[in-house]
C-alpha cells in the first residue's frame, strides 16, 4: 500500500516536472526529430544526385576588389574554392559538390607544369566511381588553351567543363555565380557525356576545340565563330551540335608518365618581319614553332628562311593564322619544305597540340596527321 502511494507520488512529480519545465525539452526533442528526418531526406536526395568536383585554378571568377564598380582593376585568384562553392548554395540542389584548389593564379600565369598537374588530377578523379563530372574554374585569358589541352588528354567520357567569368566576384552584376551554376548543371548532366571538354560562360556551351576569347572585357567574349556552339542553357540544357574532331578517350596522347612538355613557341607574322625570332627560339631550346601567319598562314620570304632553317635543325614548324578564323590550307611549296598547316586551330591551340604531338613523334607527316584529326 505504502509502496503504491510512493509510486503515485513519484509519477505525479515526474508529470509535474515535465509540465513545469514549460515543454521545452519535449519541443526540443520533437524539433530534433524533425531535423533528423529532414537531414535523412537530404542525405537520401543527395545520394541520388551526381557528384561534381570543382577544381579551382583562380582567374577573375575568383577575383575580388574593395569596390563593387571595379571590373578591370581587381586581383584575380583572390578567393578560394570553398568561398566559390559557398557563394552559390543552389548548386547543392543539382549535385553533390566538393572542391579542390589546384592553383590560384591569373591564367596569364598558367604554366605547362600546372596544366599537367590539373590534367593528371582530373584523370585520377574521373577514373573513380565517386566522381560523375568535373568543373574547372579558370581565368578567361588562356582558358581556351587549358580547355583544349584537357580535350586532348582526358581519358574519360564523363563531363568536364571549364568555366570562368569576366567580372570579379565583388562586382555589381558579377557573372561568376551564374556561370558556375550553369557549369555544374552541365557537368552533372547526361547530355554532356562524351562531348569532350566543354566551356560554359554566358549561357553558352561550347566545345574546347572551337571556342575562343574574342573581346578583352565584355561578358559575351567567348565565341565559336564559324563552327558554332554545342548548345545553350536556358534553365534546361539544349544541345544542338556535335564535335567532329577526335577528343578525350579517342586521342593518342597519354600524359600519365610525362613530367615536362616540349617547349613550343609562337612567332607572330607582320610586315617587315625576319628570321631572327626563329633563331632565338631555337637557341632558347624550342622543339617546335607555331607561326601565326597573315591570312591563310602566309609567311614572308625573310621569315620563311628562319622557318626552313628551324626545320633543318629538327624542329617542327606549323603555320597557323593571326586571322583567327578559317582553315590554314596545306601549301604544296611549303609542304615540300616540311612547313605544316594548322587546319582550323588558332596559334595558341596549335601550340597545345604541337607540344602533345612532339611527345609522340618528330615525323612531320605524322604531326600533320594530328593537325588534320584533332
Q: Which active-site residues does the annotation give?
A: 60, 140
- Residue whose CB is less far from ligand ASP, 107 or 207: 107
Strand bridging mode 222-223 / 212-213: antiparallel
| Contact in structure between 230 and 206 (CB atoms under 8 Å) | yes
CB of 110 to ligand ASP, least distance (A): 8
Counting contacts by CB under 6 A, is residue 108 touching ligand ASP? yes
Task: Give the distance, in angstroms, between the CA of residue 94 and the centroid of all CA atoms in the same chain.
Answer: 19
118 burial level (CB within 10 Å; 0-12, 13-18, 19+): buried
Counting contacts by CB under 6 A, is residue 219 touching ligand ASP? no
- Residue whose CB is less far from ligand ASP, 133 or 139: 139
Counting contacts by CB under 6 A, is residue 211 touching ligand ASP? no
| Contact in structure between 168 and 60 (CB atoms under 8 Å) | yes
Choices 100-108, 149-157, 268-276, 326-334; region in contact with ligand ASP by CB under 6 A:
100-108
CB of 120 to ligand ASP, least distance (A): 21
| Contact in structure between 150 and 208 (CB atoms under 8 Å) | yes
| Contact in structure between 62 and 169 (CB atoms under 8 Å) | yes
Binding residue for ligand ASP (CB under 6 A) from 141, 145, 265, 273?
141
Counting contacts by CB under 6 A, is residue 106 touching ligand ASP? yes
Q: How many CA atoms lie within 13 A of 39 on its CB side?
A: 6
CB of 75 to ligand ASP, least distance (A): 10
331 is in an annotated binding site: no
Total residues contacting ligand ASP by CB under 6 A comes to 11
Four-point Cα dihedral 199, 205, 206, 208, nearest 10: 30
| Contact in structure between 193 and 243 (CB atoms under 8 Å) | no
212 is in an annotated binding site: no
Counting contacts by CB under 6 A, is residue 261 touching ligand ASP? no
Calpha distance 44→138 (Å, rounded): 32
Choices 135-143, 150-158, 225-233, 319-327; region in contact with ligand ASP by CB under 6 A:
135-143
Provide the 3-class DSSP secondary structure of residue 105. strand
Under DSSP, the state recorded for 92 is: G
- Residue whose CB is less far from ligand ASP, 23 or 108: 108
- Residue whose CB is less far from ligand ASP, 140 or 346: 140
DSSP characters over 199-214: EEETTEEEETTT-EE-
140 is in an annotated binding site: yes
Choices 91-99, 101-109, 195-203, 338-346; region in contact with ligand ASP by CB under 6 A:
101-109
Output b/e per residue, 22-60; b: 16+ Cβ within 10 A: eeeeeeeeeeeeeeeeeeeeeeeeeeeebbbbbbbbbbb
| Contact in structure between 131 and 125 (CB atoms under 8 Å) | yes
- Residue whose CB is less far from ligand ASP, 141 or 273: 141
Under DSSP, the state recorded for 244 is: -
Counting contacts by CB under 6 A, is residue 288 touching ligand ASP? no
Choices 121-129, 137-145, 155-163, 292-300; region in contact with ligand ASP by CB under 6 A:
137-145
Binding residue for ligand ASP (CB under 6 A) from 139, 159, 288, 347?
139
113, 263, 267, 355, 358 from 260: Cα distances, Å: 7, 9, 22, 10, 12
Counting contacts by CB under 6 A, is residue 71 touching ligand ASP? no
Question: x/- string (CB under 6 A) for ligand ASP, residues 162-181?
Answer: --x-x---------------
Counting contacts by CB under 6 A, is residue 107 touching ligand ASP? yes
Question: x/- string (CB under 6 A) for ligand ASP, residues 25-64?
Answer: ----------------------------------xx----
Site residues (vs ligand ASP, CB under 6 A)? 59-60, 76, 106-108, 139-141, 164, 166
Q: Which residues are annotated as a binding site?
A: 107, 140-141
Q: Which residues are annotated as a binding site for substrate?
A: 107, 140-141
Amino acid at each position: 500500500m505504502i509502496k503504491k502511494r510512493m509510486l503515485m507520488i513519484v509519477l505525479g512529480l515526474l508529470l509535474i516536472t515535465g509540465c513545469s519545465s514549460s515543454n521545452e525539452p519535449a519541443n526540443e526533442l520533437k524539433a530534433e526529430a524533425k531535423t533528423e528526418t529532414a537531414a535523412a531526406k537530404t542525405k537520401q536526395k543527395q545520394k541520388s544526385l551526381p557528384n561534381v568536383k570543382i577544381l579551382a585554378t583562380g582567374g577573375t571568377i575568383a577575383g575580388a576588389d574593395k569596390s563593387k564598380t571595379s571590373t578591370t582593376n581587381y586581383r584575380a585568384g583572390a578567393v578560394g574554392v570553398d568561398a566559390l562553392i559557398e557563394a552559390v548554395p543552389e548548386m547543392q540542389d543539382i549535385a553533390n559538390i566538393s572542391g579542390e584548389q589546384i592553383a590560384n593564379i591569373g591564367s596569364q600565369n598558367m604554366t605547362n607544369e600546372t596544366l599537367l598537374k590539373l590534367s593528371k588530377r582530373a584523370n585520377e578523379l574521373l577514373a573513380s566511381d565517386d566522381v560523375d563530372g568535373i568543373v574547372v574554374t579558370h581565368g578567361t585569358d588562356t582558358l581556351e588553351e587549358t580547355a583544349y589541352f584537357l580535350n586532348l588528354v582526358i581519358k574519360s567520357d564523363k563531363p568536364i567543363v571549364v568555366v570562368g567569368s569576366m567580372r570579379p566576384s565583388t562586382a555589381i552584376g558579377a557573372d561568376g555565380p551564374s556561370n558556375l551554376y550553369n557549369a555544374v548543371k552541365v557537368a552533372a548532366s547526361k547530355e554532356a557525356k562524351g562531348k569532350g571538354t566543354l566551356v560554359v560562360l554566358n549561357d553558352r556551351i561550347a566545345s574546347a576545340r572551337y571556342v575562343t576569347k574574342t573581346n578583352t572585357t565584355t561578358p559575351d567574349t567567348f565565341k565559336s565563330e564559324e563552327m558554332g556552339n554545342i548548345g545553350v542553357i536556358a534553365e534546361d540544357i539544349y544541345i544542338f551540335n556535335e564535335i567532329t574532331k577526335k577528343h578525350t578517350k579517342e586521342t593518342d596522347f597519354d600524359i600519365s608518365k610525362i613530367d615536362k612538355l616540349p617547349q613550343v613557341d609562337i612567332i607572330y607574322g607582320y610586315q617587315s618581319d625576319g628570321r631572327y625570332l626563329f633563331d632565338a627560339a631555337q637557341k632558347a631550346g624550342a622543339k617546335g614553332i607555331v607561326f601565326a601567319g597573315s591570312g591563310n598562314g602566309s609567311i614572308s620570304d625573310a621569315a620563311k628562311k628562319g622557318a626552313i632553317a628551324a626545320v633543318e635543325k629538327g624542329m617542327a614548324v606549323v603555320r597557323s593564322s593571326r586571322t583567327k578564323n578559317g582553315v590554314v590550307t596545306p601549301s604544296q611549296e611549303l609542304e615540300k619544305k616540311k612547313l605544316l598547316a594548322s587546319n582550323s586551330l588558332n596559334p595558341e591551340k596549335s601550340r597545345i597540340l604541337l607540344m602533345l604531338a612532339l611527345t609522340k613523334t618528330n615525323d612531320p607527316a605524322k604531326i600533320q596527321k594530328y593537325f588534320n584529326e584533332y
